[in-house]
Structure 1
Amino acid sequence: MASGGHDHAPLELNRNRFPSLGEVLSRQTVAPLDLFSFYIYMRDQQRSVDYLDFWLDVSQHLALCRLYVRRLHRSVIEDTPELEKNSKRSSYILDNAGEGPSTEKEELSDQRLSAFLRSDQGSRQHSPQNSQGSNRSAHSTPGRERPPRPSFMTPETNSPNDSSSPGQTWSGDNVPKREDLTASAEKILYTYLLPGSEREIIIPQSILHNVQEAIEGPDHRSDPEVFADAKDYVFQAMERDAFPGFLQSKGLGNLVPQSMMARLIIGLISFFAAVWTAFILIFLNKSRTTRCWLILPFTVAIYFIFTHQYMLDPVLALLGLSEYTFMDFNRIREPFVKKTLRKRSFIILSMFLLADAAVCCLFIFVPGKRL
């Protein structure tokens, strides 16, 4: 599966279906089914954003490993020009160790990358710190105090691409060392996996034991295969437990729970006030012309109740807007979602108008009787 930023998105916009979780995580989608929306959903509604952050940190670690090996490969090419004829094939293998759920092609790429890193563990004669332009003082060396990815996303960010990627953090002369790979792997272990860790996620004990043994054992491994099983388990958990709700919330609706609850409260209050006023006007034997004013509270009440029930504001949907957080609206860019919400909006508006007309006619045309 291809990886990267929004550059891949236009290639996938012609699909006549909802995207898969792999497409969302590899940033092949746009709002409201983009990675940022999924992050907000996992944080605010699913309350399990640590799982997504773990998956993103492992993907970041994989990218760091690719960058390290790519720089190492280039240093070897510079020292031994006769090997340059093999560089295209090696670079292709490194560049295609993608993100997303593991496929046979990606597993093969990760295996080759991991095999290379394990073989490099004992032989460091061509390591990046000995290559041209990579000598740095100890205080500037990224390591434990400067993790590869300080934070993929925070509430202040507006897009996944706003975050620092390995290609941005490790640029120019600031190239990663083997110690940085070890520090990155240990940070993931100590942040997410160990019992009592800061952002502990629940994974099978057997997977945790294998990861801990690989990182803290005598080999001190930091290759991508260390986290392969844990990453696949987290991906499957998100795909099973969180992603269907995300599609229903953002693909079939455009409101967040806080907005839905506010609409329900306003709708019920308006409906109670409209019914109470209608009975007063009926028992005071007011004219039908006067009772026509009941259309206003009944319309507000029924509209808000319908939008709560279907998690969709049809007017906003027809305007092409979707709610990210409470009262924060963004443009709908995914064509299939836009088409789906437009169809649902017309259906909901038709049902709303029928219900509103029926209720208003009932209270306007019923004969009055003064008590």
Structure 2
Amino acid sequence: MPPREPGQRHRFPNLSEVLSRQTVAPLDLFSFYIYMRDQQRSVDYLDFWLDVSQHLQLCRLYVRRLHRSVIEDTPEMEKNSKQSSFFPEGAGEGPSGEKGNVSDQRLSAFLRSDHGSRQHSPHNSQDDYSHHSTPGHERPPRPSFMTMDTSSPGEDSSSPGQNSSGDNVPKREDLRASAEKILYTYLLPGSEREIIIPQSILHEVQDAIEGPEQRSDPELFDAAKDYVFQAMERDAFPGFLQSKGLGNLVPQSMMIRLIVGLISFFAAMWASFILIFLNKSRATRCWLILPFTIALYFIFTHQYMLDPILALIGLSEYTLMDFYRIREPFVRKTLNKRSLVMLAGFLLVDAAVCCLFIFVPGKRL
């Protein structure tokens, strides 16, 4: 789904909008992925949600290609009856929300009924209606849904099971392999990237995939997907909004600024007392403005999680010393307001401290 025009939103986005790629930097899916990986340390939950969504897209593509192959090989007089009775109307004809697409529940119901009919019908036991395939058409390599480059969460990828030329078509085995890999990668105890979900949900999913039904429809992951969504919405998303919507610095940068600020502040205090007790002139003590300004600026940026200069020129930090432009108008407006308030407070405190140590009478010891 194309991103919603940012200017139409006069609020922070919700998690659904971020996951459906309706937002732009710094509150886009890529930034949320980096936050879950580097700060929340729970990127496996987000990867599980994304992989289940990709499994849904694979199921839609499978049904859409199956629908087209049957219609193409059906005589003209039988097309209408085939289209209305064998397939759900518009099954898998596009992403959610597009014209002609059915609900996920109808898609899952069709996949379950299709699986059952093929299990009990000798004529349909061949691999994914392979009698419609062209000669020499090989089964495509199984797509990988669990490996995800950190540079790709916010980018649309090509449809699973289809190469760049559009020749490959997903098979029924691809749906089952995708469902099994999600189960074995994220859900089973001791799995490679295990996420914590209620045992009742785990057993329900495991029985559906490994039991007699051998389901691979996307609806079997609904309970686990909803649980993970609610966990991210409750535990991670508020911190993400605070970090990226109200600030523009990452924790590593904030820690470096705090260390530099404290060192500069103690250096400025030491120099101030030296100049006072050596009875140096006020003109000489004006040099104290430099270390005090650096110290207080870095301390303020740490406390506010915000660098006002970067915010005013429209930049935000997503990893240490890596910046990208703020494209969300509401976020930029919010950060500009906070930056002006922070700069006013910083200048007030800086002026008070500098005046105190510059104009205090000196006394040589």
TM-score by length of 1: 0.89
Is 2:265–2:295's contact at 8 Å kept on the other side of the alignment?
yes
Could you list the runs of 5+ residues in structure 1 that have no partner in the other structure?
Answer: 100-105
State the superposition RMSD in angstroms. 2.3
Q: Residue type of the partner of 1:8?
A: P
Is 2:56–2:218's contact at 8 Å kept on the other side of the alignment?
yes
Is 1:181–1:222's contact at 8 Å kept on the other side of the alignment?
yes
Is 1:129–1:135's contact at 8 Å kept on the other side of the alignment?
no
Q: Which residue of 2 aligns with 1:283?
A: 277
Distance 2:331 2:129 in 1: 46
**Equivalent residue of 1:242, what SS?**
helix
Alignment of 1:239 with 2:238, yes or no, is no
Q: Which residue of 2 aligns with 1:191?
A: 185
Q: Which residue of 1 aligns with 2:353?
A: 359
Q: Which residue of 2 aligns with 1:102?
A: none
**Equivalent residue of 1:19, what SS?**
coil
Q: Residue type of the partner of 1:151?
A: T
Alignment of 1:303 with 2:303, yes or no, is no
Is 1:267–1:304's contact at 8 Å kept on the other side of the alignment?
yes
**Equivalent residue of 1:166, what SS?**
coil
Distance 1:43 1:294 in 2: 41
Distance 2:343 2:80 in 1: 65
Q: Which residue of 1 aligns with 2:3?
A: 8
Is 1:320–1:338's contact at 8 Å kept on the other side of the alignment?
yes
Distance 1:135 1:185 in 2: 27
Cα deviation per residue 1:145-181 (whole Å; 9 max; x = unaligned)?
x43x2523x24x2662165542755862210000100
How do residues 91-110 of structure 1 correspond to structure 2 at under 5 angstroms? 91=90, 94-97=93-96, 109-110=103-104
Alignment of 1:141 with 2:137, yes or no, is no
Alignment of 1:346 with 2:340, yes or no, is yes
Is 2:88–2:110's contact at 8 Å kept on the other side of the alignment?
no
Alignment of 1:60 with 2:59, yes or no, is no
Q: Which moved more, 1:301-310 or 1:84-93?
A: 84-93
Q: Which residue of 1 aligns with 2:22?
A: 28
Paired residue total: 351
How do residues 1-371 of structure 1 correspond to structure 2 at under 5 angstroms? 4=1, 7-10=2-5, 12-80=6-74, 81=76, 82-83=78-79, 90-91=89-90, 94-97=93-96, 109-124=103-118, 125=124, 127-133=128-134, 136-137=137-138, 140-143=139-142, 146-147=143-144, 149=145, 151-152=147-148, 154-155=149-150, 157=151, 160-161=154-155, 163=157, 165-166=159-160, 169=163, 172-371=166-365
Give the CA deviation at 1:129: 3.0
Distance 2:68 2:159 in 1: 20
Bigger Rg, structure 1 or 2: 2
Cα pair distance change 1:335/1:167, threshold 3 Å: farther
Cα pair distance change 1:319/1:84, threshold 3 Å: farther
TM-score by length of 2: 0.90
Distance 1:20 1:120 in 2: 36
Distance 2:136 2:129 in 1: 9
Give the CA deviation at 1:131: 2.3
**Equivalent residue of 1:121, what SS?**
helix
Q: Which residue of 2 aligns with 1:103?
A: none
**Equivalent residue of 1:95, what SS?**
coil
Give the CA deviation at 1:14: 1.6
Cα deviation per residue 1:273-300 (whole Å; 9 max; x = unaligned)?
0000000000000000000000000000
Cα pair distance change 1:164/1:41, threshold 3 Å: farther
Distance 2:192 2:288 in 1: 56
**Equivalent residue of 2:155, what SS?**
helix
Cα pair distance change 1:326/1:134, threshold 3 Å: farther
Give the CA deviation at 1:95: 2.6
Cα deviation per residue 1:320-358 (whole Å; 9 max; x = unaligned)?
000010000000000100100001010000001001000
Runs of 4+ in 1 over 6 A off after TM superposition: none
Could you list the runs of 5+ residues in structure 2 that have no partner in the other structure?
Answer: 119-123
Distance 2:325 2:131 in 1: 49
Distance 1:164 1:238 in 2: 26
Q: Residue type of the partner of 1:136?
A: H
Distance 1:366 1:227 in 2: 70
Give the CA deviation at 1:136: 2.8
